[in-house]
Structure 1
Amino acid sequence: MLLRWAPRLLHHHLRLLSTAAALAAPPPTPTEWTAAPIASVGAATADASLFHVSLDLSSRADLLASHVAAGQFLPFRLPAAPYPIFLAISSPTPASAAGLARSFDFLVKRLPGTPSACLCDLRPGDLVHVGGSVVGRGFEVGRIADARDVIVFATGSGISPIRSLIESGFGRNENIDVRLFYGVRNLQRMAYQERFSNWESRGIKIIPVLSRPDDQWTGERGYVQNAFSRMKKVVNPSSMGAILCGHKQMSEEITRALVADGVPKDRILTNF
């Protein structure tokens, strides 16, 4: 997942990342940059529209330690970009990896002519400049700690920080029913399919939703908000939580539907 802003818009966005209760001051635009080598690069989908990019941080324990919540971002300063770009970290938090983490993983959309595409064209050992720490509050899962039903919605590369969330341990509580609606155009554009069985073993029910499937597809069709509407069951709004990451229209429509059903807005989480 990639975020890009001009400096003024970036400053406004970072102000929105904080609340008086959560942070004393908004995360600053990076003033310190460090060079880190690419560990690996490879296609993440059959159509190569998304790439796995891994950053070797074996010599940067301080940077690794700054990743404390799934959904946080790392700033990149790339030669082709006039201002920093921010990529959501897809790997689990180092604390959940029992201190064994040595890298940050990213799911990068390869759009020709964009700075993110340049990342996808790099090779292991190539250096990139990144901020000295991660930014953003991530998913504030403490706000739904008492939830018994959690619905997760992801579209496109928005699945990147959801991978971090799941593999950092979210959903392992047997008392929580977690459903993940994951929407893409077709199976050729669906990342992390090789991880689905592992995620399901962690207690996550995965519901793939394809907007333009082939004739062989027998699963959910359309957009995730439509699939959710068709499958929606009646639950106690006070015991429900939701996590959203992806297209703006999806997030807005899902939020309206949940609020209309009585789910408090502060129980609907995003990572920005």
Structure 2
Amino acid sequence: MSVLSFTPLHPITLHSHAHFSPSPFPMSILRRFNLNFTNHRLRRRFATVSAAVRQDTTVWTPAPLSEIEPAAESLFHVTIDVSDAPDLATSHTRAGQYLQLKVANSPKPSFLAIASPPKLAISRGVFEFLVKSVAGSTAEALCALKKGDVVEITQAMGNGFDISRIDPPEKFGTVLVFATGSGISPIRSLIESGFGAGKRSDVRVYYGARNLQRMAYQDRFKDWESSGVKIVPVLSQPDDTWTGESGFVQAAFKRAKEISNPLSTGAVLCGQKEMAEEVTSILVADGVSAEKILKNF
């Protein structure tokens, strides 16, 4: 980098008591530098304040827990009463949406996908969740609460699953759904919201868990299948009595494949990032349009 040099046009006489620190930069450049530096600091401070203001605009509403009980190993079924907050209930319009939740004395909010269908919030005034208790997290603090305890939540947010991209059912007869662990939560909302499964020729849900003890919603499988949804449980660490699919859901699907027409096939994914990426690659390689592969994030 070149350095500017400055040579005085006239000799400068220094007195013995004068203090002079020579600078290679003209005063105009130094003044501009100082001004720019000051402006930069002001901009940074303004950006920080603006960010804090934006965060403060989040509206938190207190709501009591109306139910909390084990759903499976390390998983809890949590119901929050929003009957006194109709604006919260009506904010849930599509399966796959989520909200933020705060627990007293917890360091930061947690994002939770809503497991219940939107119609439940309207008819009964509740949000239901499937929550995985992770050590040291807000979710763990939530799962330790009891019925009647109060939490703070936001309105539902996110675009959810845009089912219009795989409608009408007669045109997209095959819908493949993939979920792992607590990722089945928004999938439950989708199934129970209804997406024309009975009018489609092939709707399969590949649901992965470590074992049956960690697989939630088994009591709902029969009702789901009666609506036209075939459930394919996939266990990564089954015991010796298990005769169903084992390994990871992407591997189980790859073994089965059975896509009759990629152009009339849609998919819904929720769960581990690696699973979502691998399933997407398999589907796209088989001719399924990436636009027809739905995610809620």
TM-score by length of 1: 0.85
Q: Give secondary structure in 1 for the equivalent of 2:123.
A: coil
1:127 aligns with 2:154: no
Equivalent pairs: percent with the same residue? 55
Shift of 1:238: 1.2
Equivalent residue in structure 1 for 2:69, among 20, 26, 42: 42
Let me know the Cα RMSD of the aligned residues: 1.7
1:259 aligns with 2:281: no
Q: How does 1:83-232 map to 2 (within 5 A)?
A: 83-94=108-119, 97=120, 99-131=122-154, 133-146=155-168, 147-232=172-257
Shift of 1:258: 0.6
Shift of 1:175: 3.1
TM-score by length of 2: 0.78
C-alpha spacing 1:80/1:176, structure 2 compared with 1 (3 Å): farther
1:51 aligns with 2:76: yes
Q: Give secondary structure in 2 for the equivalent of 1:173.
A: helix
In 2, the alpha carbon distance for the partners of 1:235 and 1:125 equals 50
- Unpaired segments ≥5 residues, structure 1: 1-27
Shift of 1:196: 0.4
Q: Look up the equivalent residue of 1:143 and give its one-letter code.
A: R
1:250 corresponds to: 275
8 Å CA contact 2:197–2:203 kept in 1: the answer is no
Shift of 1:259: 0.6
In 1, the alpha carbon distance for the partners of 2:121 and 2:187 equals 19
8 Å CA contact 1:30–1:75 kept in 2: the answer is no
In 2, the alpha carbon distance for the partners of 1:93 and 1:130 equals 16
Q: Give secondary structure in 1 for the equivalent of 2:198.
A: coil
8 Å CA contact 2:180–2:208 kept in 1: the answer is yes
Count of aligned residue pairs for this structure pair = 241
- Unpaired segments ≥5 residues, structure 2: 1-54
C-alpha spacing 1:239/1:188, structure 2 compared with 1 (3 Å): same
In 2, the alpha carbon distance for the partners of 1:234 and 1:61 equals 43
Q: Look up the equivalent residue of 2:146 and give its one-letter code.
A: R
Shift of 1:101: 2.8
1:271 corresponds to: 296
8 Å CA contact 2:106–2:141 kept in 1: the answer is no
In 2, the alpha carbon distance for the partners of 1:116 and 1:259 equals 35
Q: Look up the equivalent residue of 1:135 and give its one-letter code.
A: M
Shift of 1:172: 3.5
2:29 corresponds to: none
In 1, the alpha carbon distance for the partners of 2:200 and 2:279 equals 24
Larger Cα-atom Rg:
2
